[in-house]
Amino acid sequence: MYPQPELNSFLQGFDARVPKKVLDRMIDKAKLDKNAHYEARSTIPRLTSTQPQCFAPNVDLTRAKCAFGSFAISKLKKELHSDDPLIVRQAVTTLGDLLINPEKLIEAVKLNIVDRLSDLLISEDPYLRERVAMIFTTIANQFAGRESILKNLGVVENLSKGLNDCLAAVRLKVALVLESLARDYCAADMLCNCGFVESVTAKLDGERNDILVRRRRKKKEISSNYNNRVSLFVSKIVRLEILRFLLYRDVKDRAIEAGVFEKLTTLLDRKNERVILGVLSCLTVLCEDVRGKRRAIEVDLLSSLKIFVEDERESVSAEACRLVSFVTTTTPGKLRVLELGMLPSLLRLATDERRCRSSALLLAIMKAMPRLFRVEYELRCDYNEQRVLRTIMVKDPLILRQALTNVAEAPKARAILLRNIEIIEAINVGCSEVQQHHKQTLLDFGEPLEDVCENGIFHEGLKDLFLKAYLSARGEDFIDAKESKGSSSQSAVLLALKSGPNGQGSLSQRLWLKSKLESGDWLIPAQTPSGSPLWLLRHFLGRLPRPLLQGPQWKVLGRACAASAVPLVSGPDASRLVVGQVLERIAASVKELGPTELELLSLLALLVRKLSTRNRRIVPDDLDALSQYFVSSIIVRPFRPGLYTPIDEDCQPLLVFIASHWDEIFQTPDDEETLSYSRFIGFESLLIAERNERSKEALDNDSSRKSEKARKNFVKMLESEDEEFSHRENDKYFSVPNSEDSQ
């Protein structure tokens, strides 16, 4: 017969309010995991923690008195009330062995033996105090036992007194009882309400002082008190574990006000690894709260952590980086890291495979660093070939990069890390998606559109970028004209989208152009490959926090655009009707965009249209290639260059349709003077007028004259396209032919 649930040793470890389905899933998972352990993760030495250190004469475990069957517990209860100390000692020893059996423990709880044992916690006999504390540890590991302890406030009070016992061995056993209780969230709340956070914290300094006391003793004294010093040390580690479990409850504010932060910081002077790890883990829990982060800045915790970040011990370095990743979420924390010069240390640690072998360490560093800076990294350079520029060999490490992430948002840190982009690229992240995500966060680049175009006014650098992209891709740029002449009979646009020196260029060339844009330099005379400005424009669009076209309606419109491109059997009139309906739907959706998003979309669509036009006709191959090149950057997040997804395939006809029917979408008959098309022409003319004086000062006469000539040709070409350049004549991609033309 299946045993009762209250007698099941595994189920006794859980609260009765835990759903049974959750328990079933946990049991099934535990069966598959060969290394799963239910007990604490703290590795306390067995010889100094589970074995008693207080001995009594005439207590022989091999001759323990125990009644048969169900009479055993009841007889031992009577012996616990005996006036003979020897009988009480023997009864406590026997009871400690019996209660390991869950059935006996349930019986003992029903007989209220816990109440009698509570009185023995404050006995004058050290043997009884230690043995009873060990029995309470066994009781606290079962749900019924924890419940009986928490119902009796006398037990909780005596346990609090046991923390201040004169013997270190007793304090250790009492601390183990509290650790077992603190693992349960209900018991932890009870302990917090009883003030155990303050009690445990107040005794930390006392334990530390006792450990540091070193007096000259005789050899006999040293040998007899060695175990006592070890118990002191282990007791302190257990106290840190208790404090960590209690701090997970809603007591962080109270703990900070009680001075827990300052007392824990003083323990960082210890050289023992386990003590340092316990202190750092407690500080990490405190810094998860906003007030904890503020207090960390006030006590200058980062200056103390600098030593531990560079520590040779991997576990200490990982825990320190994890703590840094929490503190650096605040602006003062980022700036303080830069003042202390911790950024180079984090970079060296992230790339040191000998020291950074742990995934936890690398993850912590990656969390702390990305908020310090934003740099860019491109995995693909060709729009139709999945070709990786640089293969990153990755093993397993992770936590280190989180430490780099937080600080990277500060402008000074961005400037520092931008100079070390090769180091960032060399970080091994392996096949882990989490590690790759944090590394990409380190290499991300992009600013919100509201910051680039304040009050709807385009940034001068963005104006330069649009003009540079058009002139370079069309082959009319005075710098690229010599290289493009006679290079190939292929379309200049398709060549600009290809990889190589005549296309998008190398990664260093594109990053150089990006650095000129960020520094405010004029882009027009920059000597770059023809496709680099297009790549930088796509990169800018793809790194916007929100995509330009956000929402599922654009995917539906893309499918409608693809359907409208197919001529209907019923005739051209029906096809025009379908195209008109799609135009109305797109125009309505476009009007819902903000002014800046609308203007940017119109400029992008017009750029695609102009680059695809040759001899006053749109070339379908160029239009298709450009739309495929840009569609992912305005639709998908996160943007992955060169990755053509099913969403891109659905939305590509939308960009093709918008570029082909640009006039119908972005202009209205009632307001022809304020059309986006007219604004675009005025925008470029104004740009040329504004840059005229600047070009004369910045360039020599020859290059300035050639640049001015190219600009005039560009404006002349735009203004020469009259109203006859209509939708029906030049749109081979989506327009429906006339009946006369078809005949």
Structure-block tokens of residue 318: 């990982």
**Would you state the pLDDT for residue 684?**
46
Q: Which of 443, 444, 415 is nearest to 427 (CA)?
A: 443
Measured CA to CA, the distance from residue 713 to residue 702 in angstroms comes to 17
The radius of gyration computed from the CA coordinates of the chain, to the nearest angstrom, equals: 37
pLDDT band at 454 (very low <50, low <70, confident <90, very high): low
Query: What DSSP string runs through 280-338?
Result: HHHHHHHHTSHHHHHHHHHTTHHHHHHHHHT-SSHHHHHHHHHHHHHHTTSHHHHHHHH
In this predicted model, what pLDDT tens digit does every residue of 303-315 receive, in sequence order? 888 888 878 787 7
Write the burial class of residue 225 (CB in 10 Å: 0-12 exposed, 13-18 middle, 19+ buried). Answer: middle
Residue 226's SS3 state is helix
Lowest mean pLDDT across 90-94, 194-198, 215-219, 290-294: 215-219
- For residue 380, is pLDDT > 70? no
Measured CA to CA, the distance from residue 480 to residue 509 in angstroms comes to 14
Residues pairing with 618 in the sheet:
613
- For residue 514, is pLDDT > 70? yes
**Would you state the pLDDT for residue 693?**
39
Mean pLDDT calculated for residue range 679-704:
40
**Would you state the pLDDT for residue 509?**
84
- Compute the Cα dihedral for 137, 140, 145, 149 and give only its sign: positive
**Would you state the pLDDT for residue 407?**
52
Tokens 């100079």 correspond to: 419
Among 108-122, 204-218, 695-709, the range of highest mean pLDDT: 108-122
**Would you state the pLDDT for residue 62?**
53
pLDDT band at 21 (very low <50, low <70, confident <90, very high): confident
250 vs 719 pLDDT, higher one: 250
- For residue 152, is pLDDT > 80? yes
pLDDT band at 211 (very low <50, low <70, confident <90, very high): very low
C-alpha count within 13 angstroms, C-beta hemisphere, residue 696: 5
- For residue 375, is pLDDT > 60? no
- For residue 281, is pLDDT > 60? yes
- For residue 334, is pLDDT > 80? no
DSSP 498: S
**β-strands 613-614, 617-618 pairing:** antiparallel
- For residue 287, is pLDDT > 80? yes
Pick the CATH number of 461-743 from 3.90.25.10, 1.10.555.10, 3.40.50.12780, 3.30.450.40: 1.10.555.10
Measured CA to CA, the distance from residue 181 to residue 189 in angstroms comes to 10
In this predicted model, what pLDDT tens digit does every residue of 576-596 receive, in sequence order? 777 888 888 888 888 888 878
Pick the CATH number of 265-445 from 3.40.50, 2.60.40, 1.10.60, 1.25.10: 1.25.10
All CATH 1.25.10 domain ranges of the chain, comma separated, are 265-445
**Would you state the pLDDT for residue 331?**
74
pLDDT band at 681 (very low <50, low <70, confident <90, very high): very low
Measured CA to CA, the distance from residue 369 to residue 670 in angstroms comes to 53
Instruction: Say which amino acid occupies 538.
Output: R
Measured CA to CA, the distance from residue 97 to residue 110 in angstroms comes to 18
Instruction: Provide φ and ψ at 370, rounded to 5°.
Output: -60, -25
| Mean pLDDT of all residues belonging to the chain | 69
Residue 400's SS3 state is strand
Structure-block tokens of residue 415: 């400037």
Measured CA to CA, the distance from residue 400 to residue 78 in angstroms comes to 60
Instruction: Say which amino acid occupies 1.
Output: M
pLDDT band at 678 (very low <50, low <70, confident <90, very high): very low
Structure-block tokens of residue 676: 């986006």
pLDDT band at 40 (very low <50, low <70, confident <90, very high): very low
Among 342-346, 494-498, 625-629, 683-687, the range of highest mean pLDDT: 625-629
Distance of CA 322 to the CA centre of its chain: 12
**Would you state the pLDDT for residue 363?**
61
CB within 8 Å of 622: residues ≥ 6 apart: 491, 493, 494, 611, 612, 614
All CATH 1.10.555.10 domain ranges of the chain, comma separated, are 461-743
Measured CA to CA, the distance from residue 97 to residue 79 in angstroms comes to 15
In this predicted model, what pLDDT tens digit does every residue of 3-15 receive, in sequence order? 344 444 455 555 6
- For residue 507, is pLDDT > 70? yes
Distances (CA, A) of 688 to 442, 457, 603, 693, 694: 37, 17, 17, 9, 10
pLDDT band at 396 (very low <50, low <70, confident <90, very high): very low
Q: Which of 192, 111, 118, 193 is nearest to 149 (CA)?
A: 118
In this predicted model, what pLDDT tens digit does every residue of 57-91 receive, in sequence order? 666 555 556 655 567 788 888 888 888 888 888 88
Lowest mean pLDDT across 124-138, 315-329, 361-375, 485-499: 361-375
**Would you state the pLDDT for residue 29?**
77
Measured CA to CA, the distance from residue 233 to residue 172 in angstroms comes to 9
385 vs 413 pLDDT, higher one: 413
**Would you state the pLDDT for residue 520?**
73
**Would you state the pLDDT for residue 418?**
54
**Would you state the pLDDT for residue 554?**
85
Q: Specify the long-range contacts of residues 123-126, CB closer than 8 Å, at least 24 apart.
A: 125/56, 125/85, 125/89, 126/54, 126/167, 126/169, 126/170
pLDDT band at 316 (very low <50, low <70, confident <90, very high): confident
- For residue 695, is pLDDT > 60? no
C-alpha count within 13 angstroms, C-beta hemisphere, residue 522: 16
**Would you state the pLDDT for residue 376?**
28
Mean pLDDT calculated for residue range 689-714:
44
Measured CA to CA, the distance from residue 321 to residue 337 in angstroms comes to 12
